[in-house]
Amino acid sequence: MDYLEKILTAFELHSPEEIRECFENGISPNQLVNGNPLIYSLINM
């Protein structure tokens, strides 16, 4: 499963359970997405 794609979808759906699952399965809060910090994806949703 692609957890990077899943967390972006979870951000859109405002799903804390799915966001937590992605972090538990290797996604780093410091990860870059398209050259930007992951938090930017959450803010832009």
Q: What is the pLDDT of residues 4-15, one digit of tens each?
A: 999 999 999 999
Q: What is the pLDDT of residues 22-37, one digit of tens each?
A: 999 999 999 999 999 9
Q: Classify each residue of 1-18 as buried b or exposed e, where b means 16 or more C-beta atoms within 10 Å of its C-beta.
A: eebeebbbebbeeeeeeb
- What pLDDT, on the 0 to 100 scale, is given for residue 45? 73
Which residue range is the domain that position 8 belongs to?
3-44
Q: What is the pLDDT of residues 34-45, one digit of tens each?
A: 999 999 999 987
pTM for the structure as a whole: 0.87
Show the tokens assigned to 19. Answer: 């966001």
Question: Is 1 a residue whose pLDDT tops 80?
Answer: no
- Work out how many domains the chain is built from and give that number: 1
29 close to 39: Cβ distance less than 8 angstroms: yes
CA distance 1 to 45: 22
